[in-house]
Chains A and B, each alone.
Chain A
Amino acid sequence: MTRVNVTVNGRAREIDVEPAKLLVHAVREDLGLTGTHVGCLTGDCGACTVRIDGATVKSCSVLAVSAEGAQITTVEGLAGPGGLHPVQQAFWDEFGFQCGYCLPGMLLTACELLEDDPDPTDEAITLAVNGNLCRCTGYHAVKRSIRCAADRMREGS
């Protein structure tokens, strides 16, 4: 077992993991944050997306031990005391999900995009979610949700 110190959704946490443990399993089992989902374990589907030091990664392709010292954000860390994050709100209002399984990846990728580029083109939105598979929505409402979030966040700022 290796002791790993991470800051998860703003809170310092200490976990003991085998080096062979994937970050997605540490997040789900050791940190208890089951909002991050396992869809393929090949880095293809994006359901396991978390942010490490601000950058989205597929946590099935990261060893938990390698996250020592990292700031990790999961889907559970998006909403604040004031309620849902504008991206979450937009996905709800615009029907940007159905079963919700791919949703953590979509939300975190959308947040990263909008922090980098508050007024993304349609092409930039498409590129941002190109690493996230969704079998329910056909992506139409996903893209509409991100556009809506971008517009609202710019108006609000």
Chain B
Amino acid sequence: MTSIGTSARKADGEVLLTGRGRFVDDHVLPGMRHAAIVRSDRAHARITGVDTSAAERAPGVELVLTGDQAARHTGPIPHFIDPAARGGRRAEVRCLAVGKVVHAGQAVAAVVARTRREAEAAALLVEVGYAPLPHVLDADEALLPDAPRLYEEWPDNVILHNHYGTGDVDAALAGADLVVTETVRIGRTTTAPIEPRGYLASWDRFDESLTVYGSVQNPHQLRWMLARSLDLDETRIRVVTARVGGSFGLKMQGHPEETLICLLSRLTEAPVKWIEDRRECFLSGAREQVHRVTVGATNDGRIVAVRDRIVANAGAVTAQPGWAMPNMSATTLASGYLVPNVEAELHVVATNKPPLNAARGFGKDGAHFVMERIVDLVARGLGADPAHVRRVNLIPAGRFPFRTATGLNIDSGDFPGLLDKALKALEYDTLRARQRELRDRGRYLGIGLAFELTPESADGPGTFVSGFDVTTVRMNMSGGVTVLTGVTSPGGGNDTAIAQIVSDELGVPLGWIQVVQGDTDRCPSGFGNFSGRGMVVGGGSAALAARDVRAKLAVVGARMLGVAPEEAEVTGGVVRVAAEPERSVAVPDVAAAVLTRAFAVASEVEPVLEATRAFKPGNIDHVPDERGRIQPYPTYSNCLHAAVVEVDPETGVTTLADFVMVHDCGVVINPALVEGQAHGAIVMGLGAALTEQLSYDDEGRLLTDRFKSYLLPRAGDLPEVRLEHQVTPSPFTMYGNKGAGEAGVGGAQAAVANAVEDALAPFGVTVTQVPLPAPVVLDLIERATAK
């Protein structure tokens, strides 16, 4: 192995650096038209009429489409994860609102024109009549018996109600030395990739086929979904995932515009492009949960029970998988701790806010915030050091695989090892001394720790959240290698790392390999990007396929060299005699021989220099255990975060002073790519901890509609974030790798929250929410000191 474990540069580097990366908005087709969308400014209302006449007369306009018209041509959009498959309720989701709107920002009508400018101008002329209905924006209020109901056919507003966990929480709490109750809230954030969503659909009326270029994560699932909503044969649809400018969950499918833009192309018989604008992009929400927690602990710091009543605000129902994230908040609740008794009750609630969309962390981040707050609350209640309470409760290194109280079967790890490394990197004892010294001078330094457990590479039975993937490795007559894989890369660079794997497994130089992703006509059926799966299953399947091709090269090459196949090895682009490395034949010559001398020197092999393989990792088990729990994850990356902040008690402003993450994602294929992902995820968590929050007015209209009101971290907000690796290989994956890219958000968020509370300990502040922008922190201080 020469390439795996090295930081090969991004394969698409030169293309991107020279401005030749072709993102969806860079595609131009002959005769292309542009779409603009009319959106509801009401949170909940009946549509009494849509007057399109003025828009239809506007310059350049070719089509104005209403929800009723769209419903004649399209069916409901199938869910990415069907709530019914999880015991919940589904609602009919349409590409344009039919009859009524359930959130401000919902698509009501669409305009197609020659230019985007004409389409936007005409969209302003569409007059929609509304009869207002009572609306509800808060999830707790939506649970009340007399709350306005979003979907008349439902008995209430509950999408999913479920219980999780094992043990006897009541008994454990009764026997505990310390019981703490608290309510903690997680604000609504969003993924905000710098490239918004966009689709270019092209209906070919001659062969009745549809080609869709899109900034999407999951092209094969999107093809299936479009086949259903458009009532087309799947073979008639090609989805091409153009280069993606960041995604973080947003571009998993289920968005109404996917079906809508295809329909507009079909109706106008022209290619139609729609690119989301930034205000539309901010409609997509993530997180937003309330946790009512009771925790019990013994005097030695052991947490004996956790009860959590979770209410998650999912907004209006969408086909996108975001509604399912709170499920993971409940399932991951015990995180990497030994807590024997856990009881979580979850209500996922529909409200008249815009829908939840999948977001990096996929709900696990919520569990980390709550659990890490719990650990610190216990430490505070006992007067113990938070590091000590973590050490007492973290699952020890020798206990894996470990089944948590919420049913996750954690494959491997050394969690106390992470803690040791983090404390050492911080110089923890020295830092605590410095904290005391600064406090004496009226400065408030805080140290926050947070453990994070990230179940990776999920498989949800009966959904397209699939825990395997498929790769084809194909060698051409010149020895060049095309790798076609079902996983996609929204920017993180798994294409480069997959090429590294193929290079090592096939025995050819990295430069010979081209990786193709995201094209349903070229790539084998796979599942794209989510859940840290790219290297676990994309890499694993690429390795298997490369080995198959290599075996043929070895057989034919050995015969060309006049030795037995087992005496030959393939490496560095040659087949050679292992014992006599100078006796070799070039791989391109072997490839040519396979394809041109199939009845002679290559007669022992089937003359196909191509293999398609699936990789199914271990540790996934859909047979329910004695308590009805299934095991959807093969492997669990984990990390420990340490944040150091300084809080200005006069203004509430929090400044990040230092940040350390010790990360264990098992064996690392490309360290620089993994570190890059971790940095990005951490900073996303820092934003969610401090400044990022979607806000709405009382009518449910979005207020935070630009980057000066929805505050992403900028370079000047951040300390030098420090990363350290620990490698505990997974027994269940190809190389012992565990998945990377998702970990970071939840831990960073939790560590900062803990650090802010620690900084303000002299005031007696309890941090009960994220984000913690300055006004919130100042309120916390005032409330604590007023007591």
Q: Which A residues are within 8 Å of any B CB, using their own CB?
A: 20, 28, 33-42, 44-45, 47, 74-76, 78-79, 84, 88, 91-93, 95, 97-104, 107, 126-127, 129-143
Which residues of chain B in 452-504 are interfacial with respect to chain A, using CB atoms and an 8 Å cutoff?
Answer: 490-493
Compute how far the CA of A45 lies from the CA of B192 in the bound complex, rounded to whole angstroms. 11
A135 & B684 in contact (Cβ 8 Å cutoff): yes
Closest to B22 in A: A34
B23 & A37 in contact (Cβ 8 Å cutoff): yes
A101 & B194 in contact (Cβ 8 Å cutoff): yes
Least Cβ–Cβ distance between B491 and chain A, in angstroms: 3
A99 & B246 in contact (Cβ 8 Å cutoff): yes
Which residues of chain B in 224-254 are interfacial with respect to chain A, using CB atoms and an 8 Å cutoff?
Answer: 243-246, 248
Contacts A42-B278, A98-B492 given; does A138 touch B18 at CB 8 Å: no
Task: Kindly supply a per-residue 1/0 record for chain B positions 1-31, scoring 1 wherever the CB is within 8 Å of any chain A CB and 0 otherwise.
Answer: 0000001011011101111111101100000
Least Cβ–Cβ distance between B192 and chain A, in angstroms: 6
Closest to A35 in B: B19
B718 CB contact (under 8 Å) in A79, A95, A139, A141: A139
Compute how far the CA of A21 lies from the CA of B677 in the bound complex, rounded to whole angstroms. 37
Interface hub of B14, B16, B708 (most chain A Cβ within 10 A): B16
Least Cβ–Cβ distance between A80 and chain B, in angstroms: 11
Least Cβ–Cβ distance between A17 and chain B, in angstroms: 12
Compute how far the CA of A49 lies from the CA of B783 in the bound complex, rounded to whole angstroms. 45
B26 & A141 in contact (Cβ 8 Å cutoff): no
**B707 in contact (CB, < 8 A):** yes
B19 CB contact (under 8 Å) in A34, A38, A132, A133: A34
Which residues of chain B in 668-695 are interfacial with respect to chain A, using CB atoms and an 8 Å cutoff?
Answer: 672-673, 675-677, 679-684
B707 & A88 in contact (Cβ 8 Å cutoff): no
A136 & B18 in contact (Cβ 8 Å cutoff): no
Q: Which residues of A contact B18 (CB under 8 A)?
A: 35, 75-76, 78-79, 84, 88
Least Cβ–Cβ distance between A8 and chain B, in angstroms: 12
Q: Which B residues are within 8 Å of any A CB, using their own CB?
A: 7, 9-10, 12-14, 16-23, 25-26, 117, 191-196, 243-246, 248, 275, 277-278, 490-493, 672-673, 675-677, 679-684, 706-708, 712-716, 718, 720-721
| Besides A76-B18, A98-B677, 4 other A-B contacts (C-beta < 8 A) | A41-B278, A76-B19, A101-B245, A136-B492
Compute how far the CA of A76 lies from the CA of B492 in the bound complex, rounded to whole angstroms. 23
Compute how far the CA of A77 lies from the CA of B721 in the bound complex, rounded to whole angstroms. 33
Q: Which residues of B contact A102 (CB under 8 A)?
A: 194
B244 & A95 in contact (Cβ 8 Å cutoff): no
A44 & B193 in contact (Cβ 8 Å cutoff): no
Least Cβ–Cβ distance between B201 and chain A, in angstroms: 19
A101 & B716 in contact (Cβ 8 Å cutoff): no
Compute how far the CA of A79 lies from the CA of B718 in the bound complex, rounded to whole angstroms. 31
A100 & B14 in contact (Cβ 8 Å cutoff): no
B680 & A126 in contact (Cβ 8 Å cutoff): no
Q: Which 4 A-B pairs have the closest CB atoms?
A: A35-B19, A99-B491, A101-B245, A100-B16
Could you pull out 14 A-B pairs where Cβ atoms are within 8 angstroms? A34-B19, A76-B20, A84-B14, A84-B18, A92-B14, A95-B7, A98-B491, A101-B193, A104-B19, A126-B715, A135-B193, A138-B721, A139-B713, A140-B676
Compute how far the CA of A133 lies from the CA of B281 in the bound complex, rounded to whole angstroms. 15
Q: Which residues of B contact A79 (CB under 8 A)?
A: 17-18
Compute how far the CA of A142 lies from the CA of B716 in the bound complex, rounded to whole angstroms. 12
Least Cβ–Cβ distance between A131 and chain B, in angstroms: 8
Contacts A34-B22, A39-B195, A136-B491 given; does A95 touch B17 at CB 8 Å: no
Least Cβ–Cβ distance between B531 and chain A, in angstroms: 18
Compute how far the CA of A74 lies from the CA of B20 in the bound complex, rounded to whole angstroms. 12
Q: Which residues of B contact A34 (CB under 8 A)?
A: 19, 22-23, 25-26
Least Cβ–Cβ distance between A100 and chain B, in angstroms: 3
Compute how far the CA of A75 lies from the CA of B14 in the bound complex, rounded to whole angstroms. 12
A139 & B683 in contact (Cβ 8 Å cutoff): yes
Compute how far the CA of A145 lies from the CA of B469 in the bound complex, rounded to whole angstroms. 34
Contacts A129-B715, A142-B715 given; does A97 touch B16 at CB 8 Å: yes
B676 & A136 in contact (Cβ 8 Å cutoff): yes
B17 CB contact (under 8 Å) in A36, A45, A92, A143: A92
A101 & B715 in contact (Cβ 8 Å cutoff): no
B492 & A39 in contact (Cβ 8 Å cutoff): no
B194 & A107 in contact (Cβ 8 Å cutoff): no
Compute how far the CA of A127 lies from the CA of B491 in the bound complex, rounded to whole angstroms. 25
Compute how far the CA of A142 lies from the CA of B9 in the bound complex, rounded to whole angstroms. 15
B278 CB contact (under 8 Å) in A39, A78, A93, A97: A39
Least Cβ–Cβ distance between B20 and chain A, in angstroms: 7
A92 CB contact (under 8 Å) in B13, B22, B248, B720: B13
Least Cβ–Cβ distance between B568 and chain A, in angstroms: 36
B19 & A135 in contact (Cβ 8 Å cutoff): no
Q: Which residues of B contact A98 (CB under 8 A)?
A: 10, 246, 491-493, 676-677, 680
Q: Which residues of B contact A20 (CB under 8 A)?
A: 117
Least Cβ–Cβ distance between A99 and chain B, in angstroms: 3
B712 & A133 in contact (Cβ 8 Å cutoff): yes
Q: Which residues of A contact B675 (CB under 8 A)?
A: 95
Closest to B27 in A: A34
Least Cβ–Cβ distance between A16 and chain B, in angstroms: 14
B19 & A33 in contact (Cβ 8 Å cutoff): yes
B672 CB contact (under 8 Å) in A39, A95, A132: A95
A42 & B707 in contact (Cβ 8 Å cutoff): yes
Q: Which residues of B contact A140 (CB under 8 A)?
A: 676, 679, 718, 720-721
Least Cβ–Cβ distance between A70 and chain B, in angstroms: 19
Closest to B679 in A: A138
B683 & A138 in contact (Cβ 8 Å cutoff): yes
B673 & A135 in contact (Cβ 8 Å cutoff): no
